[in-house]
Amino acid sequence: MSTTEFNSDDHKRSVPQAMGRGAMLKCPKCGKGSLFAKYLKAADHCPSCGEAFFHHRADDAPPYFTMLLIGHLVFPGIFLVERHYQPPMWLHFSVWIPLLIVLCLALLPVVKGAIIAMQWALRMHGFETTEPVTSGTTDGEN
Ligand SMILES: [Zn+2]
């Protein structure tokens, strides 16, 4: 396969800008269309600009990074409260477990959106082949 050229707007893809848009659950390319069709289901295409998202490979990265972030945010609080107040275990469980669940459910789509957008900005997993300009034929399509 010969070299592939891209439209001028595809030459530069800012990783921080794309990840910010993805974290806001928006399309990393245009920042307008929704990145997700459902809670954690990425849309096949951007409803605004038509950018394809179906070939992302976020896989297990979003839950991993979500647990990493939430753990570093919440567990110091748990240890500090235990050290200074020693509340009964039922109080720990009734406060911290719902907080952990709510935070994980709230942060998971944010992290997944940022990871999909990072893959888009770095042209990973099929994101590099969008909108070739000099395609004389349609070879390369499966
Ligand atoms: Zn878009």
pLDDT tens digits for range 6-34: 444 556 888 999 999 999 999 999 999 99
| Residue 134 placed within a domain | no
| Residue 25 placed within a domain | yes
Q: Which residues pair with 132 in a beta bridge?
A: 6
pLDDT tens digits for range 36-48: 999 999 999 999 9
Distance 46 CA to ligand 1 centre (A): 5
| Residue 114 placed within a domain | yes
| Residue 86 placed within a domain | yes
| Residue 141 placed within a domain | no
* Helix, strand, coil in percent for the chain, rounding step 5: 50, 5, 40
Query: What range defines the domain where residue 43 resides?
Result: 8-129
pLDDT tens digits for range 85-110: 999 999 999 999 999 999 999 999 99
Distance 134 CA to ligand 1 centre (A): 22
Distance 20 CA to ligand 1 centre (A): 14
Distance 89 CA to ligand 1 centre (A): 48
| Residue 140 placed within a domain | no
Number of folded domains in the chain?
1
- Cα→Cα distances 17→11, 13, 56, 86, 102, Å: 14, 8, 18, 44, 27
| Residue 93 placed within a domain | yes
- What is this structure's pTM? 0.78
Residues at Cβ < 5 Å from ligand 1 ion: 27, 29-30, 33, 46, 48-49, 51
